[in-house]
Chain A
Amino acid sequence: RANDRDYNEKFPYADNHIRTCKYNVFTFLPINLFEQFQRAANAYFLVLLILQLIPEISSLSWVTTTVPLVMVLLITAVKDATDDYVISPLPHLPPLPPLPHLPPLPPLPHLPPLPPLPHLPHLPPLPPLLQADILLLSSSEPYGLCYIETAELDGETNLKVRQALTVTSDLGADITKLVDFNGNIICEPPNNKLDKFTGTLYWRDNKYPLDNEKMLLRGCVLRNTEWCFGMVVFAGLQTKLMQNCGRTKFKRTSIDKLMNTLVLWIFGFLVCMGVILAIGNTIWEQKVGRSFSVYLLWDEPIRNNNVVFSGFLTFWSYIIILNTMVPISLYVSVEVIRLGHSYFINWDRKMYYIQKDTPAEARTTTLNEELGQVEFIFSDKTGTLTQNIMVFNKCSINGKSYGTSSRTACVDFSFNPLSDRKFKFHDHSLLEAIKMEEPSVQDFFRLLALCHTVMPEEKNEGDLVYQAQSPDEGALVTAARNFGFVFRSRTPETVTLYEMGTAVNYQLLAILDFNNVRKRMSVIVRNPAGHIKLYCKGADTIIFDRLDPSNHVLMNTTSEHLYVGFYTTCLRTLALAYKDLDENVLEEWMKRLLYASTVIENREEGLADLYEEIETGLMLLGATAVEDKLQEGVPETIACLTLANIKIWVLTGDKLETAMNIGYSCNMLRDDMNEVFIISGHSAHALEPELEQVLLETACLCKTVICCRVTPMQKAQVVELVKTNKMAVTLAIGDGANDVSMIKTAHIGVGISGQEGMQAVLASDYSFAQFRYLQRLLLVHGRWSYFRMCNFLFYFFYKNFAFTLVHFWFGFFCGFSAQTVYDQWFITLFNIVYTSLPVLAMGLFDQDVNEANSHRYPSLYRPGQLNVLFNKRQFFLCTLQGVGTSFLLFFIPYGAFCLVARDDGSHISDQQAFAVIISTSLVIVVSVQIGLDTYYWTAVNHVFVWGSLAVYFAILFAMHSDGLFSIFPSHFPFIGTARNCLTQKSVWLVIMLTTVACVMPGLAVRFLKTDLYPTLTDKYRPRCNAHPMTINANRTITPGETKPRLVSEEHFLPVLSGPLTVGLCP
């Protein structure tokens, strides 16, 4: 209720305070920490930390876990904080100071006499950004019009118009009247539908229907409007914009799931190790330790009575020591790598569309490696495969077809001063017909000029720009304009045309708007002569059903034109029709319309029924055909992706014929194909459970699948069907609001920022401007991401096993007492300092095959689909390698040093020296291993690998220095060990032997693999790298031409059996 604070405060309406950030300065730490410890891994390490504080079982200082844990938490916290600060959903909206306490229905108990009113938001031109969902009451423009831009909401930049109710727009800027305004609004509960609003205003005993056309939503920007008054309906978190910010379902990659399983396995393995060692300890205590107790007096009760208890304590001690097998830094490293890959996608110039200044954008940072595993692509047609730039191309008027091939000269529109210079049409006969003033042709273009929702913008006299929500409409209105029926301006109740130069005012009585179900729109206008006409345009099948029977012959001719001339050339068609209306019938109908539009429940259906009722018995005028050109590079991209064994299904709302034509022009359909599956959405029952499987199996047998006439919901169903049944990674790509559900359903959603607004992009995980970039996203970025992630994981697990299991072997020599092999500082720093950066560099920069060859040999994409680079078998192998390495790392130094002396005779077989030798060997071995695993040595890799080694030695000597020891004698007991060990030649002999023994077997296995079972990568790598110049030279490719040459496996093999220097197949 407006202006009644006391009444409104009785309800719990949201106030207008919105926090788009999750944290503030004070709450950040507790909230973020709480969230982080909800992750299983972090919680596990916290438990471990607590275990370490128990002195009986603490085999390691608590520092060893704390330092990595704190670093991991810190890195994650910094990332969360920057995410929250930089990428909060609405960075532009200030936290709304101007409306201090604003219940949804603003009351005015004591009246301040002067504007700006504190309660009725008076919206000044600066800043024109709206802060709440507001019912427009009046504005500075005539008829209570108000122009807004909704880029913030849906990304559409065209102007939209909103109009106040006539009764309220009379309030104007009169403050006293506004203050007296005491309407009641009853409306739908807050929801996230940006394009719908249902409500009713009760004021002065009248009911007024409210719809979206009268609402100004939070986030809109006022344009061309000085001021407006409104009544706040939703505020704060209840606004549609905020309701829309709900987090979409969190997507996880298959590698993620595998990783979690593996971590669980490792955990199980850890427990097994603990149990084995605990049993070992029990036996040892029983047999040996008992007699040794003379030197360890304190455990008397344990020794004498309960060796099992000793084993129990040892179990926990070993859990602490061996915890590095479950690497704490794994998750954070994986996130860093994915973030890096996302940035590489954002930075890629070859996915930047210069015409629209649109770079590619990775909107999700967690899915990159999945891009290398895609098997199914579901593509929209319009705007995705095609440009969605519509050109009026042909028409059929009253049984006569106009529009010919582009070879004839363009029609000269100079007679018309208001024509659009860019418009081209190639059939002079149409212009002749216009000049002959044929009534049907005139009516045809009059309809096109009247029946639409386009907004004109006339900056200078005669310089018209149309703001159209759909490109089809824009094309049609522009066509009418050039043929002399210029749509000049509109008010809510009138439309002004310039018909062959003379202004004609039409009274707009009703707009029967377009939606996906109706597939048509109509206007009812009264022309200056007083005749009332209904003009209707819509999908041909729909219109044909509603024609007056007298149109039978004309309908047949027109549909013949449609089938013969239009469909076959991929044109989008609309049929046009009109109907003369009787004044009385209309009046009665309008009353019912008014009633129906104030009903709250089922208003849509009620209106649709009413519309249906009046849109019958139409008289056919003709049909239009608008051409939608294919985007650049689409056939090549599709061919290339097909070679990469990716199945592409086209899901479109278009007609079967149009869809097939697109299929032909995209190379997806060829005449020699006999395994083509085309299904129409009319057969929707195919998606019912019992037929699902049949559909899926049939579809998967075919090379090409095209689904036409599918609704957005069906698109999502198809994706869901494949996703759940085929266990394959799916990718959905689309540009319009009708693709949103499909994009959200698929594993990976890609949005094309095209002509149809931003909704698809907002729902997507990746977005770019052109379909052809998909090839690069998958074959280059996806492939690399997958390859890097797999190599990273392989190495990471290997490294931690090699590092940790040395303790297991040492257990057999130290009476299973959980004595660590290494210095505790080494344990602390190994994962986060000594070995983190080289593997990160590999995870970020490695390339097995360069980008040109990734395009050239699409079959290189196969390993990702088959998931062969990292799976449970690979994990087993890397575990094996890690175990083997740890074995050699322990036993070679053991054999060499257990009874050896230094060259000055003093002993070196003490535990500290042993620790230094093993840790140095370990760092060197894993560094050599990463060197072998790295395919692509950039300067960064060199710096990180050599730098890590340097840092290791620097820290080693610093930790073993006199200075640190004299300050903290109990924390740095290794004083001097590094110096005394690493100056020994025998130590270096041992380190060298260990390195050789650890690395050579792996190297040999890898060489054998490359030799006996070469992967595609192995096959192509030498060619690519050895002769890049030869290929270029032979092909005489000009520098600008980067179009990849596609070579299928079959073509490639025979060609290369000849001399290497021969270029690739033509």
Chain B
Amino acid sequence: MGKAKANAGPLARRPDNSAFKQQRLPAWSPMLTAQTVLPFFYGMAIVCVLLGVWLLVTVQNTHELKVDYTHTGSCDKCFEKRKDRANANQSCNCTVVFNIENTFKGDVFFYYGLINFHQNLRQYMDSRDDGQMIGRNKNLKNPSSYCEPFIKDKNGLPIAPCGAVANSMFNDSFTLLYHSAAGSRVVPLFRKGITWYTDKNVKFRNPQVENKTLTLAQVFEGTGQPLYWQKPVYDLDPWDRNNNGFINEDLIVWMREAAFPNFKKLYGVLNRAIEPFTDGLPAGNYSVLISYNFPVEYFQGRKEVVLSTVSWFGGQNNFLPVAYLVTGCLILLLAVILTAVWWKFGEFSVDF
């Protein structure tokens, strides 16, 4: 492989004297010496502990309240009712009462939570057609085979939105009531702005048609609604015409599949423009009026309502500060052990 070079001569085959070819590239050779490693360990330990403490303090200032309504209070009867599929089309309303002891300051978020619902099964997750949801007309009438068997309804019409994910969309609705001395009043919630910007504006689009005068219902003509739905996709939000079709925010939120079987999804954000909610949710008695539609008894699931405030690093999360504290302490322990070992057996006393 010694390449003969073009230039002849007595030293024609002499290798180049370049740093690369002679393996003499200038280099930095860091070494694991006690002088570098031990301070690094102590430094890391301090950083982790400090971060942990700071996060812990931050988390202490956030609030979270979970109310399980699977069969609490008056929801018990709805739970029984939903056990029988024949009653699927009958509505059922119930109320759950709870109390907030300390004011939830700042923005308050209203979530619904599901326990033991596997949105992360492979066959379930694959069962959707992003091409349909981005508003491609071809996919609207001819959904991807991944949606099988939620692809055609019993009339043979293509389902929009197709697939198991959309089919199983969470369809309870909530009204939060605040009971103060002045009487009961509905807590105002923003039901829009609860999705990622990219989802709302890029990933989910209604089908594009040339004739702009067509109503959404006409656009979706020729498609069927998912089997388990009570309303067609263009009629999901009766109060806001622009929140219908594939860009309905509840649908978008649902379509972002949770990674774990226990999850919560955003339902609404407190509208703080209205008194007495300008500072957040005041302490007091509350109740939630639930339109109880989503059956969970088949899979031993539970449903809950979550009210929460957030900090600079997101919603209430005790794991992170604790994990930081634990890691920090472990590193500190390691550092001490390393120092001891180094002191006793290390370079001070070893041969040489």
Seen from chain A, the residues whose Cβ lies within 8 Å of a Cβ on chain B are: 59, 87, 288-289, 291-292, 294-299, 317, 342-344, 346-350, 352, 354, 357-363, 784, 813-815, 817-819, 845, 847, 851, 892, 894-914, 935-941, 962, 965-966, 969-970, 973, 975-976, 979-980, 984-986, 989-990, 993, 996-997, 1000-1001, 1003-1004, 1006-1008, 1010-1012, 1014, 1019, 1021-1022, 1025, 1053, 1056-1057
Say if the beta carbon of B65 comes within 8 Å of chain A.
no
What residue of chain B has the Cβ atom nearest to residue A349's Cβ?
Answer: B15
CA distance A1012 to B343 in the complex (A): 11
- What's the minimum C-beta distance from A966 to chain B, rounded to whole angstroms? 7
Interface centre among A294, A909, A962, A1053 (most CB of B within 10 A): A909
Contact pick for B130, options A297, A359, A941, A969, CB 8 Å: A969
- What's the minimum C-beta distance from B317 to chain A, rounded to whole angstroms? 5
What residue of chain A has the Cβ atom nearest to residue B300's Cβ?
Answer: A291
CA distance A936 to B2 in the complex (A): 27
Interface majority SS (helix, strand, loop, mixed), chain A: helix
CA distance A280 to B129 in the complex (A): 29
Q: A347-B21, A354-B11 are in contact. Are A910 and B2 (CB under 8 A)?
A: no
Q: Which of B1-43 contact A (CB under 8 A)?
A: 1-2, 10-17, 21-23, 25-34, 37, 41
CA distance A936 to B26 in the complex (A): 9
- What's the minimum C-beta distance from A89 to chain B, rounded to whole angstroms? 13
Contact present for A347 and B16 (CB under 8 Å): yes
Contact pick for B198, options A847, A892, A937, A979, CB 8 Å: A979
- What's the minimum C-beta distance from A1049 to chain B, rounded to whole angstroms? 11
CA distance A906 to B331 in the complex (A): 34
Interface residues on B, range: 35 or more
- What's the minimum C-beta distance from A583 to chain B, rounded to whole angstroms? 54
CA distance A591 to B304 in the complex (A): 117
Contact pick for B313, options A59, A360, A904, A986, CB 8 Å: A986
Contact present for B198 and A980 (CB under 8 Å): yes
Contact pick for B122, options A817, A938, A965, A985, CB 8 Å: A817
- What's the minimum C-beta distance from A117 to chain B, rounded to whole angstroms? 36
Name 21 interchain pairs, CB-CB below 8 A, sorted by A.
A59-B122, A288-B118, A292-B298, A296-B123, A344-B21, A344-B23, A354-B14, A362-B1, A814-B118, A819-B121, A892-B323, A901-B266, A903-B311, A904-B310, A905-B109, A905-B315, A909-B263, A911-B259, A970-B146, A996-B48, A1000-B331
What residue of chain B has the Cβ atom nearest to residue A999's Cβ?
Answer: B44
Q: Which A residues touch B176, using CB under 8 A?
A: none
Say if the beta carbon of B98 comes within 8 Å of chain A.
no
CA distance A325 to B11 in the complex (A): 49
What residue of chain B has the Cβ atom nearest to residue A1057's Cβ?
Answer: B352
Q: Which A residues touch B125, using CB under 8 A?
A: 819, 911
- What's the minimum C-beta distance from B148 to chain A, rounded to whole angstroms? 6
What residue of chain B has the Cβ atom nearest to residue A83's Cβ?
Answer: B1
Contact present for B2 and A359 (CB under 8 Å): yes
Contact present for B130 and A940 (CB under 8 Å): no
Q: Which B residues touch A898, using CB under 8 A?
A: 259-260, 262-263
Contact present for B262 and A899 (CB under 8 Å): yes
CA distance A985 to B31 in the complex (A): 32
What residue of chain B has the Cβ atom nearest to residue A978's Cβ?
Answer: B198
Q: Which of B73-129 contact A (CB under 8 A)?
A: 107, 109, 111, 116, 118-125, 127, 129
Q: Which B residues touch A357, using CB under 8 A?
A: 10-14
Q: What are the 8 closest A-B residue pairs judged by CB atoms, nearest first?
A: A976-B198, A901-B315, A347-B21, A905-B109, A819-B122, A938-B25, A914-B259, A911-B259
Say if the beta carbon of B239 comes within 8 Å of chain A.
no
Q: Which A residues touch B315, using CB under 8 A?
A: 900-902, 905
Q: Which A residues touch B199, using CB under 8 A?
A: 976
Contact present for A976 and B203 (CB under 8 Å): yes
CA distance A350 to B257 in the complex (A): 62
- What's the minimum C-beta distance from A577 to chain B, rounded to whole angstroms? 43
Contact present for A359 and B31 (CB under 8 Å): no
Q: Which B residues touch A363, using CB under 8 A?
A: 1
Q: Which B residues touch A984, using CB under 8 A?
A: 313-314
Q: Which of B309-349 contact A (CB under 8 A)?
A: 310-317, 319-320, 323-324, 327, 331, 334, 337-338, 341-342, 345-347
Q: Which B residues touch A813, using CB under 8 A?
A: 120, 259-261
Q: With contacts A352-B15, A363-B1, A910-B257 known, what are 7 further pairs, Cβ within 8 A? A: A295-B167, A296-B123, A357-B12, A359-B2, A895-B323, A976-B199, A1007-B338
Q: Which A residues touch B300, using CB under 8 A?
A: 291
Contact present for A1022 and B31 (CB under 8 Å): yes
CA distance A970 to B144 in the complex (A): 9
Interface centre among A352, A845, A901, A1025 (most CB of B within 10 A): A901
Say if the beta carbon of B46 comes within 8 Å of chain A.
no
Say if the beta carbon of B179 comes within 8 Å of chain A.
no
Contact present for A996 and B44 (CB under 8 Å): yes
Q: A847-B23, A895-B323 are in contact. Are A1007 and B37 (CB under 8 A)?
A: yes
CA distance A899 to B266 in the complex (A): 12
CA distance A973 to B260 in the complex (A): 19
CA distance A1053 to B350 in the complex (A): 11
Say if the beta carbon of B149 comes within 8 Å of chain A.
yes
Q: Which B residues touch A979, using CB under 8 A?
A: 198
CA distance A986 to B314 in the complex (A): 7
Interface centre among A361, A913, A966, A993 (most CB of B within 10 A): A993
Seen from chain B, the residues whose Cβ lies within 8 Å of a Cβ on chain A are: 1-2, 10-17, 21-23, 25-34, 37, 41, 44, 48, 51, 55, 107, 109, 111, 116, 118-125, 127, 129-131, 133-134, 136, 144, 146, 148-150, 164, 167-168, 194-199, 202-203, 253, 256-266, 269, 295, 298-300, 308, 310-317, 319-320, 323-324, 327, 331, 334, 337-338, 341-342, 345-347, 350-352
Contact present for B118 and A1011 (CB under 8 Å): no
- What's the minimum C-beta distance from B207 to chain A, rounded to whole angstroms? 13
Contact pick for A962, options B133, B202, B320, CB 8 Å: B202
Interface centre among B31, B32, B168 (most CB of A within 10 A): B32
Contact present for B331 and A936 (CB under 8 Å): no
Q: A298-B148, A937-B27, A993-B324 are in contact. Are A814 and B256 (CB under 8 A)?
A: no
CA distance A817 to B16 in the complex (A): 58
Q: Which A residues touch B130, using CB under 8 A?
A: 965, 969-970, 973
Contact present for B121 and A1008 (CB under 8 Å): no
Q: Which B residues touch A1011, using CB under 8 A?
A: 34, 338, 341-342, 345-347
Q: Which B residues touch A1008, using CB under 8 A?
A: 338, 341
Contact pick for A87, options B1, B44, B111, B124, CB 8 Å: B1
Contact pick for A814, options B1, B16, B120, CB 8 Å: B120
Q: Which B residues touch A1057, using CB under 8 A?
A: 351-352
What residue of chain A has the Cβ atom nearest to residue B109's Cβ?
Answer: A905
Q: Which B residues touch A297, using CB under 8 A?
A: 149-150, 164
Q: Which B residues touch A897, using CB under 8 A?
A: 259
What residue of chain B has the Cβ atom nearest to residue A973's Cβ?
Answer: B130
- What's the minimum C-beta distance from A928 to chain B, rounded to whole angstroms? 12
Contact present for A288 and B202 (CB under 8 Å): no
CA distance A289 to B121 in the complex (A): 10
Contact present for A909 and B323 (CB under 8 Å): no
- What's the minimum C-beta distance from A743 to chain B, rounded to whole angstroms? 18
Q: Which A residues touch B17, using CB under 8 A?
A: 349
Q: Which B residues touch A973, using CB under 8 A?
A: 130
- What's the minimum C-beta distance from A609 to chain B, rounded to whole angstroms? 46
Contact present for B298 and A294 (CB under 8 Å): yes
Contact present for A906 and B196 (CB under 8 Å): yes
Contact present for A295 and B319 (CB under 8 Å): no
CA distance A882 to B300 in the complex (A): 36
What residue of chain B has the Cβ atom nearest to residue A914's Cβ?
Answer: B259
Q: Which A residues touch B28, using CB under 8 A?
A: 936-937
Contact present for A905 and B269 (CB under 8 Å): yes
CA distance A238 to B205 in the complex (A): 73
Contact pick for B253, options A288, A907, A1007, CB 8 Å: A907
Contact pick for B202, options A344, A817, A976, A1001, CB 8 Å: A976
Contact present for B107 and A905 (CB under 8 Å): yes
Q: Which A residues touch B346, using CB under 8 A?
A: 1011
Contact present for B15 and A903 (CB under 8 Å): no
Q: Which A residues touch B121, using CB under 8 A?
A: 289, 292, 296, 814-815, 817, 819
